[in-house]
Structure 1
Amino acid sequence: MSYQQAVRIPVQAGQRVAAACGVLSAVALFLAVAAVDVPRHASEQEMLAWWRDGDNRTADVVSTFALLAAGLLFLGFVTALARQVALRTEGTATLIRQAGTLFVAMIFATGLGGAIVRGLVVDDEPVPGVDVLRFFAQLRYTAMGVYAMPAAAVVIGACSYAALYAGALPRWFGWLGVASVVAIIAATAAFLGQFAIPAVLVWTIAGSVVLLRAPTAGPSYLPPTVPQSVPVS
């Protein structure tokens, strides 16, 4: 029985919570990248001036906590999505969970520099040297663009496989994932992976819609080889 043929069952509260986690994760990630834009190719004077600005430092701290929220919320979202996939293909579901965890780890690494700079705001510490500030900026861009985005592409690609070949998710969601993966790969190949973030945001929100509309998952302890429609003699 395909996904479209599945009997519609009221969505459990857990799936609603997971869907909300997906939407909130997308909002938090958008806030994190929109709140701060550390200058690139800036002179030493421009870099120091940017970090000495109190509003910029506060925005960086806000971005750091938004990244923390985005990562934690994404874990709840991707776990529920993997549970839906596990009903058809457990191996793919495992890949989704593992790649999702890696994506979250790289999101946390993106915010690491901001977490360290937190001391500039909260503890009123002096501004470090320009080389250290440039390192923090490059850590942010590299963790997000080179590592987090490819990990997200693995999550999205695995979900697309589950949708298009295993029937575990809607086909439209699978094709949206294919387009998202292409965008992420193209941006990463051009060393502009951070510009693929909108594709991840759109896909995450679409995944939340899938969770809201999905049939409730059956008992996970049933062996996958046991037929579910064997007539009783």
Structure 2
Amino acid sequence: MKGHRGSILDIAVVADGQNVISSGQDGTARLWDSAQGACIAVVDDSYSPINAIAVAEVGNAVNLGSPKETPSNREVGTEGKLVVLAREDKSLEGVSLHSRQSVFDFEGSDAFNCCTFISSVGVLAGGLDGNIIHVDITNPKSAVETVSWSETPVLSLVPFRDTYVASYGNGTCYIPLKGSEQVLQLTGPNRQPVFQVAAWKKLVYTCCRDGFIRKYEIPDLG
């Protein structure tokens, strides 16, 4: 897949995987035909690096607009989907994947490193300053909530059951307990950044700079 003018920083799979979206250091988000490895369209083009992207079906929750040009027949399953772009310039933008129109643009307190959907209208974004911002895409003018458990950068956010897992640059990982101010902290890394987290059923996997992939079995959080 050739097209970006710099490093590719994140990818997201659309629907059944026939299309994928990538974001890059060059400030572009691109839609690709997986089978042919060809760029179908530039979804967004800005001057600021896009550190992370997330895509989800949002249906009629927000006005996604209509395409100005007829989409390629290689576009599969882009209707009704919103792609969220976490940028280096403190911007968290939602763009209609099908129409390419901007839906919202939220300004944070520092560069955004990661983002994820936690519901069809709820988005989380993690910042360089350690803040995790919860934005409702139907009312994005102000954050629903801002939390911070560390002053080091938030490196990864993933949904987990009815909450989420957050990893930080100082090696900490937290799972907030729903309906409580308490958090569950995962141990293991000794102040080494945890770059990425994955979750499946009761299991959480972390990828750390110390070279280890750690597996955690999380008990019932209720």
TM-score range, shorter chain: under 0.3
From the two aligned structures, give the one with the greater helix fraction: 1
Higher Rg of the two aligned structures: 1
From the two aligned structures, give the one with the greater strand fraction: 2
TM-score, structure 1 as length reference: 0.22
Of the two structures, which has the highest relative contact order with CA contacts closer than 8 Å and spacing of 6 or more?
1
TM-score, structure 2 as length reference: 0.23
